[in-house]
A and B are shown apart, each in its own frame.
Chain A
Amino acid sequence: MAANPMSQFDVYRIGPEIKVGAFDISFTNASLFMILSTVSILFIFNLGSKKSSILPNKIQLLAELSYTFVSKMISDTAGSKAKPYFAFIFSLFMFVLFCNMFGMIPYTFTVTSHIIVTFVLAAFIFIGVTVIGFIKHGFGYLKLFVPSGVPAVLLPLIVVIEIISYLSRPISLSVRLFANMMAGHTMMKVFGGFVISLGIIGGWLPLSFSVALTGLEILVAFLQAYVFAILTCIYLNDALNLHH
């Protein structure tokens, strides 16, 4: 089991089977790591917001730097109108970041390497952004699909392309995160397997690869959380400011 690079993505039940109606909502290893991530986020940021000293301590600095980082990201991409959604984007960024980072610890489970998790997040963002767009602009939000300055002949084609690209947003958003996580972890597992199979003589090369990949994967873990959050900001910007 351990040698299969895909077995790390197996979801298994922890404890008894819980059923609500026809739905199985059993506590699984995925649930465990979601809870671990959220609890660590809440723990760290609670510690970081407890005291208000002029010279912040390390944990307070961490919390405040994250706050200003996300706040700057939102105001840079979506402007001041996106301020009410700050808490959501902050939670989203932190949740994805912590799930990705928890996945980098050996023997852990990566929540974000499951398409269903990333898809639910992306679908929620997609629906939310669409609803916000229609609330803010009414049917004028449909102007998003009609870019200005396009010749009338090309317009039907462009509109179709715009609609497809809009509808594919949740898929691209979710698959990007899921595929990156899955690919990276699979790679690491494969190289780890090579270390074992090539043994003490030939195992050093894949081992060095493994070390390098760990660094790369930590970067990817951060980067994908950032990309996820910033794309959400960009979609929100479309809904709030309607540039087309």
Chain B
Amino acid sequence: MIKKTYFQLIFFSFFFIKEAFAAESGGMPQLNPEFWISQIFWLVLTFGIMYLVLSKLILPKISNNLETRKSQILENIEAAEKQREDSDAKLKEYDEIISKSKLEANSIFNQAREKAIKDIGAKREVLDKQIDNEIAEAEKEIEALRKNAPDKINKIAIETSSELLQKLIGAEVNNSSISAIVDDLSKRNGDKYYGN
């Protein structure tokens, strides 16, 4: 449609131009054979030279460039792939080393802890024994002291009471009678003083 109007317009323009420039209308210069031979000659010459230069010199270079680029890119991609694999392997190695050392550290820590716990246990046992011994000894001493205490008190009571009686009444009182009374009293009140 566009093309049709296009050509119609050209046609009308010819008409218009013919009217306006009737004096110099000469038809289409393309159909004037005056320079046909010249055009053919120069076309063959220029196109031939261009074809020769392009096909022999320039196009092989361009195709060569394209080829080298392609191969180089492929090579680079291969190298990159290889390096990636290498780095992956190294990363794996690194991970292994890290996990191994983690395990090692854990075991070392555990051993140390166990050892420390054992040491502490042993020391505590020794200390416990010592403490038990000391407590037992102390208890024994206390027991002995406690056993001796009433006798001593009785003795003191007898002596004091005999001296008291002597001073108060000036009479010599038989120690044995006093001791009988003290014994009787202490037996009666023993529970009050030493009540356990």
Given contacts A52-B65, A64-B66, contact A28 B59 (CB under 8 A): no
CB-based contact B6/A187 at 8 Å: yes
In this assembly, does B34 line the interface, its C-beta being within 8 Å of a C-beta of chain A? yes
List, in ascending order, chain B residues with CB within 8 A of A94's CB: 50, 54
The stretch that binds B, out of A18-26, A131-139, A161-169, A225-233, is A18-26
Question: Residues of B within 8 Å of A, CB-based: how many?
Answer: 49
CB-based contact B46/A42 at 8 Å: no
For B26, B38, B41, B44, the residue with the greatest tally of chain A CB atoms inside 10 Å of its CB is B38
List residues 23-59 of chain B with CB under 8 A from any CB of chain A: 24-32, 34-44, 46-47, 49-51, 53-55, 57-59
Q: Provide the bound-state CA to CA distance between A115 and B35, in Å.
A: 12
List, in ascending order, chain A residues with CB within 8 A of B73's CB: 54
For B6, B27, B68, B72, the residue with the greatest tally of chain A CB atoms inside 10 Å of its CB is B6
In this assembly, does A127 line the interface, its C-beta being within 8 Å of a C-beta of chain B? no
Choose from A6, A38, A116 the contact partner of B46 (Cβ within 8 Å). A38
Q: Provide the bound-state CA to CA distance between A26 and B51, in Å.
A: 22
The stretch that binds A, out of B9-17, B82-90, B102-110, B176-184, is B9-17
In this assembly, does B193 line the interface, its C-beta being within 8 Å of a C-beta of chain A? no
Of the A-B pairs whose beta carbons lie under 8 Å apart in the complex, a sample of 10, sorted by A's number, is A3-B21, A5-B13, A11-B39, A28-B42, A34-B42, A48-B62, A67-B62, A87-B59, A115-B30, A121-B47
List residues 1-59 of chain A with CB under 8 A from any CB of chain B: 1, 3-7, 9-11, 13, 23-28, 30-31, 34-35, 37-38, 41-42, 45-46, 48-50, 52, 54
CB-based contact A187/B40 at 8 Å: no
For B6, B10, B54, B63, the residue with the greatest tally of chain A CB atoms inside 10 Å of its CB is B54
Q: Which chain A residue has the least Cβ–Cβ distance from B44?
A: A120
CB-based contact B36/A91 at 8 Å: no
The distance from the CB of A21 to the nearest CB of chain B, in whole angstroms, is 10
The stretch that binds B, out of A147-155, A178-186, A236-244, is A178-186
Interface of A with B (CB < 8 Å)?
Answer: 1, 3-7, 9-11, 13, 23-28, 30-31, 34-35, 37-38, 41-42, 45-46, 48-50, 52, 54, 60, 63-64, 67-68, 86-88, 90-91, 94-95, 111, 113-117, 120-121, 178, 182-183, 186-187, 190
For A27, A90, A94, the residue with the greatest tally of chain B CB atoms inside 10 Å of its CB is A90
Interface of A is mostly: helix
CB-based contact A1/B24 at 8 Å: yes
Interface of B with A (CB < 8 Å)?
Answer: 6-7, 9-10, 13, 17, 20-21, 24-32, 34-44, 46-47, 49-51, 53-55, 57-59, 61-66, 68-69, 72-73
The distance from the CB of B30 to the nearest CB of chain A, in whole angstroms, is 5
